[in-house]
Amino acid sequence: MRLCHDLSMLAKGLSFPMTLAAALVAAGCGGDAAPAWDVEAVAFEALEVFEVDGLASQTNVNPSGDRYVSFDGLAAFELCVVSLTADVDDRCTERDRSVWLRSLGWSDDGSQVVFTDDLTFRFDEPDIARFDTTTGDIDILTDDGSDVVPRRADPGGDADLDIAPFFGPDGAVHFFRTKNLDRRFELYRLDESGDASPVGNLRLPAGTFIPSAPRPIGDNRWVAVFETIYGREASIGIIDLDDESIETIDLDERVALVDAMGTHVIIASVDDLNRLEPDPFSIVSLETGRDRRIDAGIDGDVRLTGAGFSPDGSFVTLIATDRESNELIGLALDDGRLGDPVVLLTAVEIASDLDLGDERSRWSGVGGSSELIWAEDGSLTFAVSFEHLAVVQSSRS
């Protein structure tokens, strides 16, 4: 167990907005508060394994880790919401239009999921849809009754292209809209009656769109990956609803947003993910724009197949896997610098509890971007095979 003095030294070096007093309280150095998150003091205990329909890595797990949405095949023509904590039947809804996996945004209580309906790379007149995880019902929130595809040469028309929905600070659905691809996407908000209105003068940079759901990073700000419509360039965008502004950090390649926490985000190179490269992840500072490739110092045939921040952002968690073994490792994060790898969990330690039969066991993240889902209660969700999710509960000593 680390002493409170050692934890106070750690708190002084935190790169996230936390006072020393708050760090000590979170560390359990006063009162009955829980210990702080320290990569060298995390242990995993209880384990539950769930079989899913389709690919486990293509499920979308909510931030609380208590339910997930699964997809029927890569086209996602059926959505099912499954509870990981309650003994209730799955709620499934068939679709005749595709759903973009990374476009799902969860409400705070997990009762609703919003997503871009029928977003393809041809921009086939996408709308914003809402999936009720209690009933399984899907409502199209911005249906304009048109299937017209506003092409680049088209002056416009009645069709609206709606993308990138997320729940704002008041719980209202926000999204980006344009009339045709020659115009910039503008931020809109849906009121209780379902009417959409612009939010200030927030517009995406010319020629860009957002393929995935923006992530909250605190202080009424969200972060997302912006992609060029007619190219392969990308940037990280910081959406500030208070200042009604958008800042961007240019990148050299197409990336997927894996996780976001405070002043840093984890991204994955789309090309590296597709090519199964060993180290597809990078960490980017939202303050300086500096990005660093995450290198866990592992040689041979080992690949990094999952990444995510700890619940307080004090360390980065990675999955390292090869043909014979899987490991969960952690690297302390201090002012954008990553510490030495610490092995948190191995497949050997939980092999008897997995009971996967003859199925090949290769761990990975989920959500289409290989994210490891840490919940505030200390549970961690990730894929342990092609068809199984695991939820492990951690403790802090």
CATH of domain 37-396: 2.120.10.60
Q: How far is CA 200 from CA 12, 187, 197, in A?
A: 38, 8, 9
pLDDT at 282: 94
Q: 169-203: per-residue pLDDT in tens?
A: 889 999 999 877 777 899 999 998 889 999 988 99
pLDDT surpassing 60 at residue 6: no
Domain with CATH 2.120.10.60 in the chain: 37-396
Least confident of 157-161, 264-268, 346-350, 371-375: 157-161
Are the C-beta atoms of residues 392 and 47 closer than 8 Å to each other? yes
Q: Kindly indicate the confidence band of residue 73, based on its pLDDT and cuts at 50, 70 and 90.
A: low
* Cα 259 to Cα 14, 141, 231, 282, distances in angstroms: 18, 27, 24, 11
**Dihedral through CA 207, CA 242, CA 201, CA 186, nearest 10?**
40
Task: Give 2's pLDDT tier (boundaries 50, 70, 90).
Answer: very low
- Which among 81, 79, 54, 67 is positioned nearest to 109, based on CA atoms? 67
Q: Which amino acid is at 222?
A: W
The answer on pLDDT for 264 being more than 70 is: yes
Amino acid at site 153: A
CA distance 314 to 261: 10
Strands 342-346 vs 326-334: parallel, antiparallel or unpaired = antiparallel
Say if CB 110 and CB 133 are below 8 A apart: yes
* pLDDT for 121 beyond 60: no
Give phi and psi for 202, each to the nearest 5.
-85, 115
Q: Which residues 6+ apart lie within 8 Å of 382 measured at CB?
A: 306, 319, 328, 363, 364, 365, 366, 372, 373, 389, 390
Higher pLDDT, 6 or 381: 381
pLDDT of residue 146: 61
Give the whole-number percent of the chain exceeding pLDDT 90.
Answer: 34
CB-CB contact of 391 with 379 (8 Å): yes
**Residue 12 pLDDT:** 32
Which whole number is the average pLDDT over 58-79? 77
Please report which confidence band the pLDDT of residue 57 belongs to, taking 50, 70 and 90 as the band edges: confident
Between the CA of residue 101 and those of 181, 207, 245, what are the distances in Å? Answer: 22, 22, 27
B/e letters for 247-260, b = 16+ CB within 10 Å, e = fewer, are eebebeebbbbbbb
pLDDT of residue 148: 55
The pTM (predicted TM-score) of the whole model is 0.84
User: How many CB atoms within 10 Å of residue 239?
Assistant: 27
pLDDT at 32 over 60: no
pLDDT, greater one: 295 or 258: 258
- Report the chain's mean pLDDT, rounded to a whole number: 80
